[in-house]
Structure 1
Amino acid sequence: MDGVLVDSEPVWERVRRAFTAAHGGRWADDAQDRMMGMSTAEWSAYISEDFGIPLPPAEIAERVIAAMKEEYQVHLPLLPGAVDAVFALASRWPLAVASSAPKSLIEAVLDASGMRPAFAAAVSSEEVPRGKPAPDVYLEATARLGRPAASCAAIEDSTNGLRSAAAAGCTVIAVPRPEYPPAADALKLASITLDSLTALSAEKIAAL
């Protein structure tokens, strides 16, 4: 979802930076890249342990997620072509969300965008033992679809997301965000790379 359907990474970075600054923490230059793909439990623990913020991870997560919801209520940053691509693909195949976002944010995005009916399943990495780059969230999503991962295509933008989908055995389609380019070795895991979802079609997926 993040970075594929919604341009949320800049929002996550802005919210987490503001939270860190407000609590006297230290924001590392590579912090956002490191947290992309982490589960809620993982990134909140990372902020608590590495940023010098004397709050328990659960409280950090609660406050940051609440700030994200407020941001989405003001403006939901859907990426170009996202809604059209989702409904076009849903008319041909069952779709699932496999996201590192907390479940409450996944639901907020699907409801606000009107995309919920297009998805047969939605899985947060909160619901599995490990976040991306581990394959857990993709394996759970494909299981809920009732399909082996090897018969599924995964659309991803980030280093950890690409690695997660590939580790699960999915055919990987990369739609990287230029502001947060994935590592070269992760990008090589993709069968095709597209500039945006406007370039994605059922025919391109079927050809894979």
Structure 2
Amino acid sequence: MDAVIFDLDGVLVDSEQTWDEVRRSVVAAHGGTWRPEATRAQQGMSTPEWARYLVDTLGAQLSTDEIANTVIDEMAHRYAEGPPVIDGAADVVREIARQWPVAIASSSPPVLIHAFLTACDLTSLVPVAVSSEEVAAGKPAPDVYLRAAALLEIAPQRCAAVEDTTNGLRAALAAGMTVYGVPNPHFPPDPDVLGQATVLSAITELPSAVRTAR
């Protein structure tokens, strides 16, 4: 293994519930109807993908650009006093970065990725941060992971990925990476997909796990 690539939401930042809450409220405020499967369906989608989903599938009466901007603006507002960083996550990134190149491959828009890096003083330690807005397809497609590996100039097969949801795990597996799963307690991943990863009970277990696998 020559690099470690982190997902953001649910792995480093406890934000999956916030995304869900904000999208639900925006859909309700603009004439749409939430569906039981909507939360899991959107996990891993890029911004253009989930914006289309909110409009075309859930019926929100806004354009895709309008609904994307509305949701992201509210998320940025929620982050104004600092993103909800998971306990120990920033220290894990620092520890990993002392031994391997690190990157972030996230479905969050760039503004929220950079808000996390700035708040945790990690910008200089994370040379690559890719949003699925910047690739052709969001997770479960492997594009965002493949792009991160390419920017690190390391073969995907030599990278480890850290994920928490079904679609994220599928994306990293499809990229051919060694995958560490930290199951999201609010939205547990599919056991069959999680079974293809090395499962950790908390992000703080990652440094010892990757050293053992080295």
- TM-score calculated relative to the size of structure 2: 0.93
Match of 2:101 in 1: 94
Where does the alignment leave 5 or more consecutive residues of structure 1 unmatched? none
Q: For the residues of structure 1 that align with 2:34 and 2:89, how far apart are their CA atoms? A: 31
Structure 2 residue 46 is the aligned partner of structure 1 residue 39: yes
**How far apart are the structure 1 equivalents of 2:48 and 2:31?**
21
Measured in 2, the distance between the counterparts of 1:48 and 1:20 equals 8
Q: Give structure 2 stretches of 5+ with no counterpart.
A: 1-7
Q: How does 1:73-88 map to 2 (within 5 A)?
A: 73-88=80-95
Deviation readout 1:41-76 (Å, 9 max, x if unpaired): 100000000111121111110110000000011352
Alignment partners' CA distance in 2, 1:49 and 1:183: 26
What is the rounded CA distance, in whole Å, between the counterparts of 1:134 and 1:141 in structure 2? 13
- SS of equivalent to 2:113: helix
Is the Cα–Cα contact under 8 Å of residues 163 and 189 in structure 1 kept in the other structure?
no
Q: Which runs of 4+ in 1 moved over 6 A?
A: none
Q: 1:63 aligns with which of 59, 65, 70?
A: 70
Deviations 1:104-145 (A, max 9, x none): 111111112222222020000011101100110000000110
Q: Which has the higher contact order (CA 8 A, sep 6+)?
A: 2
Instruction: Please report the TM-score for the alignment, with normalisation by the length of structure 1.
Output: 0.96
What is aligned with 1:195? 201
Question: Identical aligned pairs, as a percentage?
Answer: 48
- Equivalent pairs counted in the alignment come to 206
Q: Which amino acid aligns with 1:197?
A: I
Cα shift at 1:206: 3.1
